A and B are shown apart, each in its own frame.
Chain A
Amino acid sequence: MSTATAAATADTHHDVHDTNTGISNTKLAMWLFLATECLLFGGLISTYLLYKTRGNGAVLPTDVFDIPFTSASSFVLLMSSLTMVLALSAVGRGEMDRGKAWLLVTSMLGGIFIGGQVYEFTSFYREGLGYTTNPASSAFYTLTGFHGVHVSLGIVMLMSLFVAVVQGKLTSKNAETVEIVGLYWHFVDIVWIFIFTVIYLIPAE
């Protein structure tokens, strides 16, 4: 089937050689979606930056940060990007057992990250930083909360992929699906790279 007639079909197939850009519809959609997410997280980050010193006489997030702990969970999330890309690599080669394992590890690392966040937030709360304490705390928890929800949805998608591999529905032929979930996962990691530096590491004035 020549590429001309392939392109002429112009129906809902995602085949790479059918599309004008050479990227499948689904992958292009994911890149675009991630671009829009920059606007979302940018707004939340800006809100925090604006409010980070507004404590209304109470505790500020910068007062209660535990940098060593957060560094550890940041490292965990960063490594999950590695395991994600190893999962994709394995699935692409048809090594489905390896792929399953790496998908599971990625989900678990994500779960550890979320667990770390939950632990962090509960200890912050005990130290007087509640959600409604002041503008700084509301902004902090909303930003990190949105990020955490994104990570959690990512874990759901990763586990769905895992199940799909187990059921034999996901093979090396649709490795692109793993790639697309991977894009989302890496983006969520990138957002955390940004948050960790800008919110945690840059010292309070």
Chain B
Amino acid sequence: MSETAVETGVAADTHAHPSDWEYVKIALVLGLITAVEVSTYFESVLNWGRALVPSLMVMMVVKFWLVARMFMHLKSEGKAASRLFVAGLFLATGVYIIALNAFQFWG
């Protein structure tokens, strides 16, 4: 009985879990992206011009997604967890963007 519990739990997990080495690789990618982000601070490296803010946003989202999906296992978690977390995230983003609009933040 309890074996099945542990078995199902562990079995489900090991199918979806990346290995330790895969985690390290993801961390290296994260580090690389961070290095690129930081390089934007130094104008001598590359002139981003108007692409700067969108590029930073994209990099931020990629890092976010990597940590959430791979480190937090959101991918293998099941629909309920994803839906709850995404709901909170999208709600926060939506509501606060509307609020900033009301302050004519981008005006």
In their complex, do chains A and B touch, with some C-beta pair under 8 Å?
A: yes
Inside 8 A of B37's CB, which chain A residues have their CB?
Answer: 196-197, 201
Bound complex: CA A89 to CA B18 (Å): 9
Inside 8 A of A74's CB, which chain B residues have their CB?
Answer: 34
Bound complex: CA A16 to CA B95 (Å): 34
Instruction: Judge whether A35 and B87 touch: CB under 8 Å.
Output: yes
Instruction: Judge whether A81 and B96 touch: CB under 8 Å.
Output: no
Instruction: Judge whether A38 and B88 touch: CB under 8 Å.
Output: yes
**Residues of chain A at interface, number, CB under 8 A:** 55
Instruction: Judge whether B85 and A34 touch: CB under 8 Å.
Output: yes
Interface bits A160-203 vs B (CB < 8 Å: 1, else 0): 00000000000001001001001100110110011011100111
* Interface range on chain B (Cβ under 8 Å from partner): 35 or more
Inside 8 A of A49's CB, which chain B residues have their CB?
Answer: 100, 105
Instruction: Judge whether A39 and B100 touch: CB under 8 Å.
Output: no
Instruction: Judge whether B41 and A17 touch: CB under 8 Å.
Output: no
Q: Is A82 an interface residue (CB 8 A)?
A: yes
User: What are 14 A-to-B residue pairs whose CB atoms are below 8 Å?
Assistant: A32-B88, A35-B88, A42-B93, A46-B96, A46-B100, A50-B105, A68-B41, A75-B31, A81-B67, A82-B23, A82-B27, A84-B71, A187-B72, A197-B60
Task: Give the nearest-CB partner of B13 in chain A.
Answer: A92
Inside 8 A of B17's CB, which chain A residues have their CB?
Answer: 89, 92
Bound complex: CA A174 to CA B21 (Å): 23
Bound complex: CA A45 to CA B30 (Å): 23
Instruction: Judge whether B5 and A17 touch: CB under 8 Å.
Output: yes
Instruction: Judge whether A23 and B78 touch: CB under 8 Å.
Output: yes
